[in-house]
Structure 1
Amino acid sequence: MRGVTIDDITRAADQLLADGERPTIDGIRRLLGTGSPATVNALLKQYFQSLQARLNLPAPIATAAAELYEQVQATAREELEKERAAAEGELAAGREALAQERRDFEVERTAFHQRVADLNADLERHREQLKATSAKLASTEKELGSQTTRATTAEAQARASEAERERAAQKHAGELQRLRDQAEGNERHLLGRIDEQKAQLQRLVQDRERETAAAAKHAATLETSVSEAAKLNASLRAELTTTQRDLAKRQDAVVAAENALQRAQEQATKDQALRHAELDRARAEIEQLTAALEQHKRDRDEALREAAKLDGKLSALQGQLEEARAEIRRLQKAKSSEPGSA
């Protein structure tokens, strides 16, 4: 296939002028159906240089046309530089906004981790309190067993002394009543302490639920921030696409630009690649923010599991309390059924 010649360019440019259109690189390539942009640009420059001789224009008119041509080129270059500077400024502003949002996110994440650590410390202290309560319950049960042993011993002594049966029986009844009163008082005291521990546990669970709700709300806020950052990234990409379309239109306006203008266009292409690289880094930062948000969600789920474990321990403690009550009732029933207890 032969290459594009100056005759092909001349014929196509003349056709465009006859149709009332301006000879441009894209217009000529559309008519010819071939030709690289660089080749068409170089031949189109020769076409404009030979246009004076072909049209036999007077020298002043040709000079004025050349000056006008140079002014159009200079104006196009200035507009292109302004638009490129504006696009770079908007991209820099977008990067600064993303950097600021990232710094704010780091501060909020640090505060959130500190709050989770405080909640874990509170949970550990409550576990220690539950251990202390369990120890007190075991001590109370031991004391109750000791009291039961003393009551049995007193009752055996009453049966052994036949001569002092009546007095021993009365003494035994009084001692038994005292032991019953003491056992009931111990039971009330124990129930009161358990109710206090239960109320304290309930308050802690409620505080934990509020903290979990606050953490969920904070996570939602972070998700909104990430969504807004993604929207900003999309907006920057849309603006970059618009800038690219505008640059393409301006290239049509400076079709006869010299080699210096061609170098400027190549530099603009490099700048565009840099902007793409900056946008890729911004996407990577957004992915990091999303990963941090997922970690926050896992921390929140861990806190909920710890609260569930705490509820299980409370249920176990309530079961132990019911067993202690049943043992006390059994002892009371056994004492009331023994001879001489009336």
Structure 2
Amino acid sequence: MARGITETDVWSACDALLLAGDRPTIERVRQQLGRGSPNTVSPMLDAWFKGLGARISDPGAFAAPPDIPDTVGQAAKHFWEVALAETRRDFDERLREGMAAAIANVEAEKERAAMADAAAYTASAKLTRATAEATELRALLDQERTLRATDLARLDEAKRQIDRLVHEAQATAAAAAEERAQAQRHVETAQARFEAAERRAALESDSERSARAKADKR
């Protein structure tokens, strides 16, 4: 049974990749180790990146053994510097992306708060307006009780408006009923077509099986 990978395995693979001039990635670490699932490697790689900043202050942590030739050491140093620069660029990019995301979140929260304030202000204004309108209507009703003629005229006008609204509502309801009926007819037609298609397919399938059976008998 294959042995599971440890954080030490992943960190050692990351260090080796850096010394080889490659930026550690999930796939490169898996190739370096020859095993390990992405779900297992990913959090360990993140931990390595988080700890890399503190380790950068100690370049000896990544230094090549002292007994290797100078040319190899210089090459390793060059690869280390390239990898370090790439890693720093990656950190900078992640930092910029994180800051941009944080700023975007703050702006979104500000916008939502502004929208909530605007909605509250609108609701308050509507309530004030409705209260004023109700007060005005009550005053009109009090006045109408003393002015019968005006009252009758307004009642007639109100009746006409009600009749018009009722007529419009009835027309709208009739149109909606017709649309529902038409939609139902469309659904029934589509269902009938679908069932007919199923029957045809079943007949064709039966015919095909019968033909194959006859052919097999021959």
Q: TM-score, normalised by structure 2?
A: 0.39
Q: TM-score, normalised by structure 1?
A: 0.26
Q: Which has the higher contact order (CA 8 A, sep 6+)?
A: 1
